[in-house]
Amino acid sequence: MPLVNWLKRRLVVIAGLLTLAYLLLPNVVVTVFSFNKPKGRFNYAWQQFSLDAWKQPCGVADMCGSLSISLQIAVWATIGATVLGTMIAFALVRYRFRARGAVNSLIFLPMAMPEVVMAASLLTLFLNMGAQLGFYTILIAHIMFCLSFVVTAVKARVMSMDPRLEEAARDLYAGPLQTFLRVTLPIAAPGIAAGALLSFALSFDDFIITNFNAGSTVTFPMFVWGSAQRGTPVQINVIGTAMFLVAVLITLFSMVVTNRRTKHNA
């Protein structure tokens, strides 16, 4: 009986820990296998501990090149989608114009449409236009599907914003530009940041649309897919682990900053 009671009292904690384990286990496997020294070409069975891959992260032909392309596309797609998406969100919330309702729902289409359908139709479009497939077609495609996520994130923030704040700024001698920079933008910033982070992750991650519209360009997800056919270099796990660590560090950093701020204010 004491065991049952003990379980009862800790049920929420246990359930939480189990869920966390479920979420993190794949990451743990990726990390552990980045220290493996596989026998054959496939990194699927544990052999022995080794730091070889960490010492030479770019030791595999073409991998770091594809990583660099993916990072570049992700950065530009994030910038493009965030700027455009923020403007669209403001327009949708603040202004009344013809077809506003239609735009409002159409903007969510890329989120709802099966990715493979969109990928195929984009390819058709690019081919018909005679566009050269490669870096720029990937970028255009990524900006397009990131847009809806940015619009959603920013719109929620702008909608909850009191329009009187901007009136107050104008009343207190801030011109239109100053009002935007000093009041509108800082208040909308969390929504914009969320949209940007989401865009970066989506773009860096994307395989289907990219694969259709890449031409001879190879992004990191495409490289991983390609190599998985022939053998998986340990370096893939190194890159995966490194990205995971960067994400964790960013999260920790923002948590520390928020904590400091609340403590400072209290």
Partner 1 sequence: MTTPDNSGDVRLSGISKTYDNGFTAVHPLDLTVPQGSFFALLGASGCGKTTTLRMIAGLEEPTTGAVHLGDQEVTHLPPYKRPVNTVFQSYALFPHLDIFENVAFGLRRRGIKSVKKQVEDMLDLVQLGEQARKKPHQLSGGQQQRVAVARALINHPKVLLLDEPLGALDLKLRRQMQLELKRIQTEVGITFVHVTHDQEEAMTMADTVAVMNAGRVEQLGSPTDLYENPNTTFVANFLGTSNLIEAEVDTTNGDDIVLEAGGGKLVLPKARCSAPTKAGGKVLVGIRPEKISLTHADDADRIPEGRNRLTGRIADASFIGVSTQYVIDSPVCDELAVYVQNVERDGRLVPGADVVLHWSPAHTFGLDADQDIDAGTEEEAAA
How far CA 30 is from CA of 7, 52, 66, 124, 239, in Å, comes to: 32, 16, 19, 37, 10
Compare residues 169 and 214 and give the one whose CB is closer to partner 1: 169
Nearest approach, Cβ of residue 25 and partner 1 (Å): 39
Rounded least distance, CB 162 to partner 1, Å: 6
**Which CB sits closer to partner 1, 128 or 265?**
265
For partner 1, the closer CB: 158 or 183: 183
Q: How far is the CB of 29 from partner 1 (least distance, A)?
A: 42
Rounded distance between C-alpha atoms, residue 68 and residue 214, angstroms:
15
Question: Are 64 and 129 spatial neighbours (Cβ–Cβ below 8 Å)?
Answer: no
Closer residue to partner 1 in complex, CB, 9/261: 261
Compute the least distance from the CB of residue 169 to partner 1, in Å.
Answer: 7
Binding region for partner 1 (CB under 8 A):
162, 164-165, 167-175, 178, 182-183, 186-187, 189, 264-265
Give Cα 155 distance to the centre of its chain: 18
